Amino acid sequence: MATTDNSENKMENSQGGIKRRTLLKALVGVPVLGVFAYELIKKYSYDQEKKARLVKELGLDNLPLPTIVKSSKGSKNDLIRIGIIGYGSRAVSHANGLGFMHPNDVEARTKNNNMADWLAQEDLNVAITGICDVFDLHAENGLATARNTVRAGGAAPSTLPVKRYRTYQEMLDDKDIDAVMIATPDHHHAPISIAAAQAGKHIYCEKAPAHSEEQIIPLYETVRNSKVTYQLGHQITQSVIFQQAREIIKKDILGKITLVETTTNRNTADGAWIRHLDKNGNPKPGDETTIDWNQWLGHTPKVPFSVDRYYNWTKFFAYDIGLIGQLFTHEFDAVNQLLNIGIPKSVMSSGGIYYWKDNREMADTLQCAFEYPNHDLTLLYSAMLANSRSRGRVFMGHDASMELGNAINITVDGSSTKYKKQIEAGLIDPSGPMVSFNPNSGKVDAVTSATEKYYAARGLTTTTINGIQVDVTYLHIKEWIDCIRSGKTPSANIEMAFQEAVTCIMAHKSYVEKRRVEWDPEKRRIV
Amino acid sequence: MKDLAKYTAAEKFVLVALRILIGWHILYEGFAKLLIPNWSAASFLKESKWILEGFSSWIIANQSVLNIVDFLNTWGLILIGLGLILGLFTRIASISGAALLLVYYLNNPPFIGLEYTLPSEGSYLVVSKTLIESMALIVLAVFPSGYFAGIDMLLAGRKNK
């Protein structure tokens, strides 16, 4: 290269004037950079000002930042001894949340290089000391998990023995168990919860809390008259974005909300609760010699053992109330935690078995309308098991709508009264989301560029928090453990569980009896 | 390589102008990423199709790798942009810029049958603006425009002495 610069350099050595010209040429980029810097600053301040004005106009300028993991208060010295009743796939998440993991999972996650987040999870100072499952294989998994020496949060391996209990009654009778986590098929939830409350054990129970009025009333009374801490297993409201959504509702950004739409959108056999086959199409393990079938059936009608019933119990009304019990429960909790609407005045459900025409009783297409005249609001639930088009969860107000998923997107309504001036002034564009909260950036932000708008509208945003994926189940369990120690009431407490159970039972009754079902608040009865 | 003196003023002008324009574009692409809070290549890489798809998913799956890629990408763009505008290490800047743009192109080439969720701002078949910009940088790497106008002139002068 150096050899190529010839004539000019030679000339510049002889004449000072030309040397200056060379210098000017050499530095031709400098003024360009100056112009660039000026434009960059101008662009940056324009964007900042626009965002700030928008966020301010919407009254979102002083939203508190989400607190992600609060460190637990109270004495952490008292170890809590936990028994897990029902050790299927859901219980695996519970054990992980408690800081325990099966050796095989540890190996697999180490291989995939995704152990760090779990290892960073705070130690809750608990031990799993009991496992109860009617299926030997599942019970063995639970025992291996509870005994594993690899622990989250740098916790020391538990030194307490881990016992397998043949029945839940046996576990509840044991004074060496302080609290139980119930992750059985749904027909056992209420009877076990009632027995646990009577035995003075703290309860973490998966949704749904109960399947009938005959179950929910005694469950509610027993838990309320006991000293146990009851938490219903709804993890999604622990997501940091719910804290922001609550503020947005509180600040009345959306105007008067008269419709909330919630949905389920699935299109797989697994999603339709066909789960008795493994990846190769062979039946999953389990037969009458390894499964205590009578105990599994519990109070439900006696039927011969079937792998289909054992794995696909959701399909049958004896064990579950279908989509309402499995998925609407989460939707209801999400809405009720934000709006505190409680039990509806009336419910109408309709639907049918239109795609998965097997031996199921549960609908695969279901619509439920819940009326709240005292709140001027309708809650809709629309579930679909043969199409996965993402329809989201939307709160619709007169002035704006809020879509609440992995991120929050607020779209101002074109006919809004509150934002009329801003829309006319061109500050607010009602054609796309205007404000989004992406948990990745940890703050509410105005959406200005087309690409940002595009991604925000589709929720294509990553959900890590400060680079660490925080498990929401862990947060929900942590809240329960913290409340056991502090005596406070957790978010998915028995009052919330009662409202949810009654609402779900009403919806189910309406579907089965093909009629509009109402709630009598005075007699506290479904009519 | 042609003797520098043999370039006409017009040839020199268009080459330097092209260099500065591309430099401006790349520099702003770098700064834009720097100024967006928590910007990450993840959403771009998520869209990756064709031969780099597997590699891109590996990057997204590893937070630490993704952080490195984000850092290198942002500062790589800024340094390349500065190099092109100032005419400093012009050839290295041109070649690195061409390579980087080629990686962008290969992550979402507009081939028949590859569908992307993010709409493009134009209509492309096989050739896209990214590919053309990459080629333009190869042109700049071949013609030593840093020696017509750029800090490279001074560096070369010092080396000669």
Write out pLDDT tens, residues A343-360. Answer: 999 999 999 999 999 999
Q: Are residues A226 and A270 in the same domain?
A: no
Sign of the CA dihedral with A466 first, then A467, A468, and A470 last: positive
**Burial level of B144, CB count in 10 A (0-12/13-18/19+)?**
buried
Q: Are residues A169 and A151 in the same domain?
A: yes
Average pLDDT along chain A: 86
Instruction: Report yes or no: B30 and B75 within 8 Å, Cβ to Cβ.
Output: yes
**Would the pLDDT of A105 be above 70?**
yes
Q: Which residues pair with A259 in a beta bridge?
A: A378, A396
Partner A contacted by B9 (CB < 8 A): no
**Would the pLDDT of A56 be above 60?**
yes
Contact B63 A8 (CB under 8 A): no
Instruction: Report yes or no: A493 and A231 within 8 Å, Cβ to Cβ.
Output: yes
Look up the CATH number of the domain holding residue A170: 3.40.50.720
Q: Are residues A222 and A344 in the same domain?
A: no
Q: What is the pLDDT of residue A456?
A: 45
Contact A36 B24 (CB under 8 A): yes
Partner B contacted by A455 (CB < 8 A): yes
**Would the pLDDT of A460 be above 70?**
no
The number of domains in chain A is 2
For the segment B16-49, what is each residue's pLDDT rounded down to a tens digit?
A: 999 999 999 999 999 988 887 667 777 777 777 7
A127 vs A99: CA distance, rounded Å? 9
Q: Are residues A216 and A98 in the same domain?
A: yes
**Would the pLDDT of A338 be above 90?**
yes
Q: Are residues A298 and A422 in the same domain?
A: yes
DSSP 8-state symbol, B17: H
Partner A contacted by B16 (CB < 8 A): yes
Q: Are residues A246 and A375 in the same domain?
A: yes
Instruction: Report yes or no: A151 and A120 within 8 Å, Cβ to Cβ.
Output: no
Tokens 């297409």 correspond to what residue? A365
Q: Which of A222, A230, A233 is nearest to A183 (CA)?
A: A233
For the segment A132-165, what is each residue's pLDDT rounded down to a tens digit?
A: 999 999 999 999 999 999 998 888 888 899 999 9
HSE of B62, CA atoms in CB hemisphere, 13 A: 13
Compute how many other C-beta atoms are within 10 angstroms of the C-beta atom of residue B33.
18
Residues 52-81 of B with CB under 8 A from A: 61-63, 67
Q: Which residues pair with A283 in a beta bridge?
A: A277
Q: Are residues A329 and A312 in the same domain?
A: yes
- The residue range of the domain holding A380 is 240-467+505-513
Q: What is the pLDDT of residue A324?
A: 97
A29 vs B143: CA distance, rounded Å? 17
Instruction: Report yes or no: A436 and A408 within 8 Å, Cβ to Cβ.
Output: yes
Query: Among the residues of A384-434, which ranges form H helices?
Result: 420-424
**Would the pLDDT of A6 be above 80?**
no
Using CA coordinates, name the residue in chain A closest to B155.
Answer: A2
3-state secondary structure B34-97: HHCCCCCCHHHHHCCCHHHHHHHHHHHHCHHHHHHHHHHHHHHHHHHHHHHHHCCCHHHHHHHH
For the segment A363-380, what is each residue's pLDDT rounded down to a tens digit?
A: 999 999 999 999 999 999
Instruction: Look up residue A425 and give its two tokens.
Output: 């002034």
Using CA coordinates, name the residue in chain A closest to B28.
Answer: A40
Q: What is the pLDDT of residue A388?
A: 87
Q: Are residues A295 and A245 in the same domain?
A: yes
Whether A357 maps to a domain, the answer reads yes
Whether A87 maps to a domain, the answer reads yes
What interface predicted TM-score (ipTM) does this complex get? 0.81
Contact B160 A114 (CB under 8 A): no
For the segment B84-132, what is each residue's pLDDT rounded down to a tens digit?
A: 999 899 999 999 999 989 988 888 888 877 777 666 677 888 898 889 9
DSSP 8-state symbol, A324: I
Q: Which residues pair with B156 in a beta bridge?
A: none
Q: Are residues A156 and A183 in the same domain?
A: yes
Whether A269 maps to a domain, the answer reads yes
Domain boundaries, chain B: 8-160
Q: Which of B11, B156, B152, B144 is nearest to A29 (CA)?
A: B152
For the segment A247-291, what is each residue's pLDDT rounded down to a tens digit?
A: 889 888 899 999 999 999 989 898 899 999 988 888 899 999 999
Q: Which of A133, B55, A308, A317 is nearest to A325 (CA)?
A: A317
**Would the pLDDT of A34 be above 60?**
yes
Q: Which of A218, A177, A184 is nearest to A199 (CA)?
A: A177
- H or E, element range at A34: helix A29-57
Give Cα separations from A463 to A119, A290, A468, B60, B116 (angstroms).
18, 41, 9, 12, 22
* A317 Cβ contact list (under 8 Å, min separation 6): A361, A362, A512
For the segment A467-485, what is each residue's pLDDT rounded down to a tens digit?
A: 455 677 888 899 999 999 9
**Would the pLDDT of A74 be above 60?**
no
Instruction: Indicate the SS3 state at residue A351.
Output: strand
Q: What is the pLDDT of residue A101?
A: 96
For the segment A154-210, what is each residue's pLDDT rounded down to a tens digit?
A: 888 888 999 999 999 999 999 999 999 999 999 999 999 999 999 999 999 999 999
pLDDT band at A2 (very low <50, low <70, confident <90, very high): very low
pLDDT band at A44 (very low <50, low <70, confident <90, very high): confident
Angle A420-A422-A426 (CA atoms, 0-180°, nearest 5)?
115
Contact A33 B37 (CB under 8 A): no
Contact A29 B151 (CB under 8 A): yes
Partner A contacted by B28 (CB < 8 A): yes
Count chain A–chain B contacts defined by CB atoms under 8 A. 104
Tell me, yes or no, if the pTM score tops 0.90: no
For residue A28, the chain B residues in CB contact (below 8 A) are: 16, 20, 87, 149-150
Whether A42 maps to a domain, the answer reads no
**Would the pLDDT of B156 be above 80?**
no
Q: Are residues A451 and A325 in the same domain?
A: yes
CA A468 from centroid of its chain's CA atoms? 17
Q: Are residues A363 and A331 in the same domain?
A: yes
Instruction: Look up residue B104 and give its two tokens.
Output: 């962008």
**Would the pLDDT of A73 be above 50?**
no
Q: What is the pLDDT of residue A230?
A: 97
Compute how many other C-beta atoms are within 10 angstroms of the C-beta atom of residue A277.
16
Length of chain A: 527
Whether A424 maps to a domain, the answer reads yes
Q: What is the pLDDT of residue A52?
A: 75
Q: What is the pLDDT of residue A454?
A: 47
More confident: A3 or A241: A241
Partner A contacted by B82 (CB < 8 A): yes
Q: Which residues pair with A367 in a beta bridge?
A: A350, A382
When pLDDT is averaged across residues A206-218 and rounded to a whole number, the result is: 94
Q: Are residues A229 and A251 in the same domain?
A: no
B135 vs B94: CA distance, rounded Å? 10
* End-to-end alpha carbon distance in chain B: 22
A440 vs A464: CA distance, rounded Å? 6
Partner B contacted by A113 (CB < 8 A): yes
Compute how many other C-beta atoms are within 10 angstroms of the C-beta atom of residue B100.
20
pLDDT band at A63 (very low <50, low <70, confident <90, very high): low
Whether A346 maps to a domain, the answer reads yes
DSSP of A196-257: HHHTT-EEEEESP--SSHHHHHHHHHHHHTS---EEEE--GGGSHHHHHHHHHHHTTTT-SE
Q: What is the pLDDT of residue A67?
A: 54
Using CA coordinates, name the residue in chain A closest to B12.
Answer: A25
Report the range of poorest mean pLDDT among A235-244, A442-451, B88-97: A442-451
Length of chain B: 161
Look up the CATH number of the domain holding residue A428: 3.30.360.10
Phi-psi region of A208 (alpha: psi -120 to 50; beta: other; left: phi over 0): beta
For the segment B67-93, what is each residue's pLDDT rounded down to a tens digit?
A: 888 888 899 999 999 999 998 999 999
For residue A7, the chain B residues in CB contact (below 8 A) are: 4-5
